[in-house]
Structure 1
Amino acid sequence: MLSGTSLFPLIALDSPLAELLYWVTTSGTAPYGALTAIVLLGVCFTMVPRRQFIALVLAVGLSMLTTLGLNHFLKPFFGEPRPNAALMAQQSLLQLEEFYQLPAAQRRPMVSQALNQLTNVPSMTTAPEIKLSNKIAAHWQHEVGFSFPSGHTLFAVTLSMVLSYFLLLSGQYLLPLFLGLWSLSMGLSRMLLGMHWSQDVLAATVIGGLMALLCIAIILQFQQKVLPTRATVSNHDAR
């Protein structure tokens, strides 16, 4: 971000690497993001003690609701175009101001038409030639909202940090390492696929980290005050 280097368009978007990055980004795309969270919670259930797992679930729920609401507020507030939309605008295939004033349902056909021209008609400008796999083209047509911040990165970072906190408390290290790599791959995939700028991913990482820490602190405080500890229960039973 400091150097002004853009990761898009850096790789061929019809290559095996792009296909792999697409599946990484799909793990954070609705509704598959919910499935990702459920699977990870199921794995954590086998690794984390019951009391910590209850706190984990509460922290995940609170952090997901918080970041989802924050993401929906920040995107229209900043109104930043996505890199792929900016590229199509450079090719005179989209008028960004008009495009983002329309509802999402009307933006998708415009992106589809622009993609047909972008990929099928030889470019008359100095912009690089773009070739998309069918899956990535469909993803471009589906994701037509604003860019800042990266919702996928926000989801991955927040979920990974909350889960990793409780996993590390339980002496688990391998899964937190995997979650960290997944979060990093998510941010890179969003930039390489033309969905986000570097500042979108950086801001989402910082926001996600702060929200995860805040929600963990709130849930631990709630657990300490509301949920009885094992020692308290045992003393009560002894009486």
Structure 2
Amino acid sequence: MQVVIKKTLVILAIFLVTPIVIIAINWQWQPQSLNGWSEYLFWFTQTAGIPWAILTCAFFPVLFAICLKVKSKVQFIKLVLILAMAVLLGQLIKTVIKSYTADSRPFVIWIEKNYQIDDKHFYSLSRSEREAVIEQHVYQSPEIPHWLFQHWKNETGYTFPSGHTLFAATWAFLALLFLNFKRCHNVIGIIIIWAVIIEISRLALGMHHPIDVICGSILAWAIALFTYYVALKWRVIEP
């Protein structure tokens, strides 16, 4: 198990590099941070959010089953259940933490500074009322592209921790733990790169602070290790 933890710590370090560097240089999100790559990051981030995350959740278990060469229907069902458990557990933990921390997203802080809207008042509103506030003040803004404006309208919840990072990093750690023993290195590498891009997108689009993605990554690491242990007990994978 120590070898397994060491392998996952290397990937965890990769996830922590970007937010730690951002904290070190004291970078703060502003519309000026948007560039020609931003919309591409937006399309990546969509794969870790509703509704596209549902397709992601359907795709990865099939991919894992192919890499693991699962032939038994029972074994496949066990694999799907345990992977679903990992993802759902992460999202449940995220929801509980967000309800207690109640921190504001970077774009909400930007709206507060530019349009004199108190962030506490903003979050006291219903979701539909928050969407109306964003539409009222941001829709005509020349600094915010329409695709990002729509994304903000759909993401008016609290910021800590990052659910998208948690979702993507969980799949990355699960890929490392479940598939590495079958030497599916290309698949693992692609999933890790996808998850890192998701993490970067959350920062670049004004959706999260660095500490949000740090917490999301650490939670994903812990959940994946727990899931790996359960998978061994269920004989879904071999040690």
> What TM-score do the two structures reach when normalised by structure 2?
0.82
1:177 corresponds to:
189
Q: In structure 1, what is the Cα distance between the partners aligned to 2:224 and 2:205?
A: 26
- Give 5+ residue unaligned stretches, structure 2: 1-19
* 1:12 CA drift (Å): 4.8
Higher helix share: 2
CA contact (8 A) 1:153 1:201 kept: yes
Q: In structure 1, what is the Cα distance between the partners aligned to 2:131 and 2:119?
A: 13
Structure 1 residue 45 corresponds to structure 2 residue 68: no
1:151 corresponds to:
163
The one-letter amino acid of 2:60's match is L
Structure 1 residue 33 corresponds to structure 2 residue 53: yes
Q: In structure 2, what is the Cα distance between the partners aligned to 1:209 and 1:43?
A: 20
2:88 corresponds to:
65
Structure 1 residue 3 corresponds to structure 2 residue 3: no
Structure 1 residue 209 corresponds to structure 2 residue 200: no
* 1:44 CA drift (Å): 2.5
1:236 corresponds to:
none
> Is the partner of 1:91 in helix, strand or coil?
helix
The one-letter amino acid of 1:28's match is A
The 1:167/1:11 distance shift into structure 2, 3 A limit, reads: farther
> Is the partner of 1:8 in helix, strand or coil?
coil
The one-letter amino acid of 2:204's match is L
Considering only aligned residues, what root-mean-square deviation do their CA atoms show, in Å?
A: 2.2
The 1:146/1:53 distance shift into structure 2, 3 A limit, reads: same
The structure 1 residue matched to 2:104, chosen from 62, 81, 90, is: 81
CA contact (8 A) 2:139 2:149 kept: no
> Is the partner of 2:144 in helix, strand or coil?
coil
The structure 2 residue matched to 1:134, chosen from 130, 146, 151, is: 146
* 1:30 CA drift (Å): 0.5
Q: In structure 1, what is the Cα distance between the partners aligned to 2:25 and 2:127?
A: 29
Q: How high is the sequence identity, in percent, across the aligned residues?
A: 24
2:207 corresponds to:
195
* 1:60 CA drift (Å): 1.1
CA contact (8 A) 2:31 2:144 kept: no
1:164 corresponds to:
176
CA contact (8 A) 1:37 1:159 kept: no
Could you list the runs of 4 or more consecutive aligned residues of structure 1 that deviate by over 4 angstroms after TM superposition?
51-55
Q: In structure 2, what is the Cα distance between the partners aligned to 1:10 and 1:144?
A: 18
> What TM-score do the two structures reach when normalised by structure 1?
0.82
* 1:92 CA drift (Å): 3.1
The one-letter amino acid of 2:115's match is S
CA contact (8 A) 1:153 1:205 kept: yes
Instruction: Using the TM superposition, name which of 100-109 and 1-10 deviates more.
Output: 1-10
